[in-house]
A and B are shown apart, each in its own frame.
Chain A
């Protein structure tokens, strides 16, 4: 399997990464290189092997349901580009 330049641009768009034509070509080469590696791995017979959801074979640690975080809005908003009335302001996005 190999990607077309259009597919690379679509992936870039979905990830909100701006790529120029030449960057798209370079990236296409990199991604196709990764696919070659994956193809090699897919040649391994995995019959009877249960897929893992994580590289480490351990399970999730859980925390008790308790409020441990105090209000630190002032500190967080001090580094935000723009705020008003306690809200973070962002460019308007309406669906």
Chain B
């Protein structure tokens, strides 16, 4: 009876890509001097009124369409009441009973290689709201300093059902969501600047039992912290229960330094938000025409691109998912195939997913920063496809391109004399040489030792400085040995 099932739901705050705030005309640019982008509306000076930003609504529509959700023709803004100095009105304008986006789902790939599997995470809702300002608690002689530049920045809060069953699934979902909001251009996804923040609701239960009591981990701003915080929290909850203590509903914070979660507030002192429709804002109407226009302007979505990669390039589901993990990867791959030719689509996939990914990872680079361009990589794959070079030599050429030792694969092959030897006369001469010099191996092979054959192949390749066509070497060697 040592089995526990983990149940996770995630709420994400995605900062929407607008130039002005959701209810005021102040700028949303990051990094300005404190309070220089906080206007009378953001400061909640008496008599001001909110006016809704059309672009923020359009971002919500884009998102709703991208996840197959219902975009509400009528939604309502509500006041969420609480007193905190970074929220000068005494309430946050949010949506409660009638959110703009209802339902929808995102299918993600969890794990890699043979262990990879697909998981569909259902969304409850996504609603528009305003961000709060920032409080600085240090260095102000016992007072707090308030910067309201961020107050009123448009957010889309995206809420899932409690569908995830491990921290890996939670991270896979968060990564897919992060890629999607950037893909459709509604959020820059900058996690350091707080543009994409996750809260994880975590509970454990015996399989088949009702949901356990959940604790909410707030404000996780990296995928690593999301995973570490959930793993720690799950183990903590299991220990508590196994030691006979019940879990109390609570909001907790994750401390990346200690790797632990600690309670911020419990249910007893949970906020009583007293939501009610904001009388300053009329219901938001979204017409069918507007939805149709936004739909027409959407780019090819990850799920559509994935299907096309499978249909058009004959890729496996796993390859297609990996290559559509972000717009940048998908664009890089397609440009590579564009140069190498559609017949080389599968080797192009391998080069992008394996060799290039490993090299980028080694140098800590993103694909957009790759020193090897898709044109160069496509040119390289084309030379493997037409037998100019072998796969092994190709790795050398790739490294040369990475280090800027040539503008193209052709140039590197030319300059470094890496062109594959396919002239059977030349290869035959090398084979004869090796057979004459390695009588012992020849005898072993003829005595039935298959391994001796590989040793001979190695010798020929060595004599050819790796440039002989491996297939031809194999064939010629076999022919000669069996003659």
* CB proximity to B under 8 Å, residues A52-75: 53-56, 58-69, 71-73
> Is A88 touching B35 in the complex (CB atoms < 8 A)?
yes
Which 9 A-B residue pairings sit nearest by Cβ, starting from the closest?
A: A68-B25, A87-B145, A65-B55, A59-B285, A86-B34, A69-B39, A62-B54, A53-B76, A60-B282
- A81–chain B nearest beta-carbon distance, Å: 10
* Cβ-defined contact, B283 with A65, below 8 A: no
Does B452 lie at the interface of the complex (its beta carbon under 8 Å from any beta carbon of A)?
no
Q: How far is the CA of A66 from the CA of B53 in the complex (A)?
A: 9
In the complex, which of the residues B56, B81, B83 contacts A65, with contact meaning CB atoms closer than 8 Å?
B56
* CB neighbors of B among A19-70 (8 A): 53-56, 58-69
Instruction: Tell me the complex Cα distance, A95–B26, Å.
Output: 29
Question: Is the CB–CB distance between B53 and A93 below 8 Å?
Answer: no
Residue of B nearest to A66 (CB): B20
Interface range, B side: 35 or more
Q: Is the interface of B mostly helix, strand, loop or mixed?
A: loop
Q: When the two chains form the complex, which single residue of B24, B34, B53, B98 contacts A87, counting CB atoms closer than 8 Å?
A: B34
**Contact of B33 with A by CB under 8 A:** yes
The reply to whether the CB of A84 lies closer than 8 angstroms to some CB of chain B is yes
Given A53-B98, A56-B282, A87-B147, is A67 in contact with B25 using a C-beta cutoff of 8 Å?
yes
Partner of B144, one of A58, A69, A71, A93: A93
- Chain A residues near B70 (CB, 8 Å)? none
- Measured between beta carbons, the chain B residues less than 8 angstroms from A69 are 24-27, 39-40
A90-B45 Cα distance, complex, nearest whole Å: 16
Of B36, B140, B282, the residue contacting A84 (CB under 8 A) is: B140
The distance from the CB of B375 to the nearest CB of chain A, in whole angstroms, is 36
Given that A76-B35, A86-B34, A95-B264 are known contacts, is A65 also in contact with B53, CB under 8 Å in the complex?
yes
Residues of B within 8 A of A (CB): 18-20, 24-27, 33-40, 43, 45, 51-57, 74, 76-77, 81, 83-85, 90, 98, 135-137, 140, 142-148, 264-265, 272, 274, 277, 279, 281-285
Across-interface contacts of A67 in B (CB, < 8 A):
19-20, 25-27
Q: Which among B145, B148, B274, B285 is the interface contact of A89 at CB below 8 angstroms?
A: B145
**Contact across chains for A54 and B279 when beta carbons are under 8 A apart:** yes
